[in-house]
Structure 1
Amino acid sequence: MLNKFKRSTTCLLVSFSLLLGGCANTGSSLLSSTKPDPRLTSGEQSQLFSSSAAQGCGMGALAGAGLGALTGALAGNSKKALVGAAVGGAAGCAAGVATNYYIDNLKKEYATTADRLQAMDKDINKDTADIATTTAAMKAVISDNHATLTKISIQKDKAGFDKASAKKELSQVDANISVMKEKIKNMNEKSAAYKVALQGQATSTPADKDKLKKLNAEYSELSGQITALESEANGLYSQRQAISLG
């Protein structure tokens, strides 16, 4: 009986691990079979802002689930192991999101304020450049999608309208919007990390104070670029929501 319980608990943990791993890695890919515009996902774009706090949440949930299931296992109760995995996973997810990976790494890897400011300078400059690249790709797709939606809006009530073709085009727009929203969400997560990290730096030397002032200006530029891009994406989303083919 004990061996059977151990096997059941092991299977539970493995299954839960695979489930969480899949959730962390696939994102929203299961929601639609239509592939997004390759300009959003191919080459360099496939790497820019492709990871998010959801992955940290997934790892936190996995750890929490393991501990929760282990508690039930030690109690010799398979039901408690299952409940413990679910509750522990939820708690682990919350902990994974709440614990800012970026800020923790800054504290661990850099002992002085000057070193942390230098590291943030490098990171913010890289993300600002990446946002410029992502923005160029997104704007091109947004422009084309606006044209597609305008065409459908004009033609959908006319005789001979190809509804099946229009549905395929709308599905493509939906897939594009999904990718863009995910990337922008990840951008905002990074932006929030920078904001908290900058606010947490206690400067004492004139050099550090000047550096922090410069970084705050760089952060403002980065944040402004994200806001502008999000506004354009929201405009496309609003136009899409206004179209229904019945």
Structure 2
Amino acid sequence: MIYRYVLGGVSLAGVVGAAGFFGWQSLELDFLKFKSAPKPVIIQRYAQHSLWIDCEKRIAIMFAALVGADHGNAPREDEFTLDPSVDKRCQQRSTLSYGTPYDRGHLFAANHADSDPVAIHQSNYMTNIMPQHRNLNRGAMKRTEFITECLRDMGDVWIVGGIFKNETPIDSLILHGIEVPAHIWKVIHSPSLNKTWAYIFPNDSRATWGDADTYLTSLDEIDKRWGGAIQYPFYIKSRSEVMKESYPVTKSCNIS
């Protein structure tokens, strides 16, 4: 199902997670708070995640998912495809590799959908892919995916993230018809622990696995750079808190 909004208060409703939860009636983004009002945004709901796609930029500006307990180990697909249910004018022009130094990086990771072959397939739609520096994709971002897998062992996990729409891009990929975002932000929330980790990663060589903690930040800082307060669908103890370190990835975590 596709929802289309042009301007004004946008309700981020109907996020579907692995636990089958329909939520986010309370989560709203006021796009008028941007310094310049955006062009039409498509809210695209998938089996286990949702995307907010900027048709003018041909790229997702936000993703969200409620990731349930890890009960499967279905293989990831190798092929990247366009989403047949989304207007091609809102998608990247090519599914080919971006070329050095950028990987085709997932927003919603295929591993989070490992109990659902449909969700795994949808995670490889180009709507869920954006150029991520290889150090980020295989380093700091990979670490957040492993953290999510560890937290899933205790229960559901919320993940929300995206780019800063008004930020100056660092590159352009003519073949794909998109710009390369300078930063990618991500929020991980564990209801079981009642803890929230927020990150703003530079989309460059600095964002390695070992340096992920360097980019821990506050929800307030994400709001500031986003252009307005994001009302998340979970209890937040403090929007100004910055976690001192990431949740540990240990050998006991089920990351398969």
TM-score (ref. length: structure 1): 0.24
User: With CA pairs under 8 Å and 6+ residues apart, which has the higher RCO, 1 or 2?
Assistant: 1
TM-score (ref. length: structure 2): 0.23
